[in-house]
């Protein structure tokens, strides 16, 4: 059985997923490739959200970690807009 991740590890993994979403290559056309690109970015950011969404409700997490999780969750919509904005 896999060892559960600590809240700090979850936040670190979520930040790595955000960087991974930023590194997905943007397509040059606006056709189906753009839909696929948008779906990949949104899916990667959703994985980051899923990693940290319950940290703020965890009794074992310290207040600083809970605040980091809240900040990361609050920043996700802005990050998505930044990544998907037209160039």
pLDDT, tens digit (0-9, with 9 covering 90-100), for 13-70 = 999 999 999 999 988 877 778 889 999 999 999 999 999 999 999 888 999 999 999 9
Task: Establish if 48 belongs to a structural domain.
Answer: yes
Q: Which tokens in the block code for residue 5?
A: 């991740």
**Rounded CA gap, 85 and 72, in Å?**
20
For the entire predicted model, the pTM comes to 0.89
Q: Which tokens in the block code for residue 30?
A: 């606006």
Instruction: Name the domain count of the chain.
Output: 1
Task: Establish if 26 belongs to a structural domain.
Answer: no
Task: Establish if 23 belongs to a structural domain.
Answer: no
Task: Establish if 12 belongs to a structural domain.
Answer: no
Query: Residue 75 belongs to what domain range?
Result: 44-53+64-87
Q: Which tokens in the block code for residue 51?
A: 């990693």
CB 10 within 8 A of CB 55: yes
Task: Establish if 49 belongs to a structural domain.
Answer: yes
């Amino acid at each position: 059985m896999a060892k559960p991740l600590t809240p700090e590890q979850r936040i670190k993994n979520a930040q790595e997923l955000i960087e991974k979403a930023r590194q997905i290559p943007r397509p040059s056309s606006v056709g189906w490739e753009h839909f696929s690109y948008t779906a990949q970015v949104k899916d990667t950011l959703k994985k980051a959200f899923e990693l940290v969404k319950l940290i703020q409700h965890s009794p074992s997490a310290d207040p600083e970690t809970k605040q980091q999780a809240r900040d990361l969750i609050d920043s996700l919509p802005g990050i998505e807009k930044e990544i998907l904005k037209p160039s």
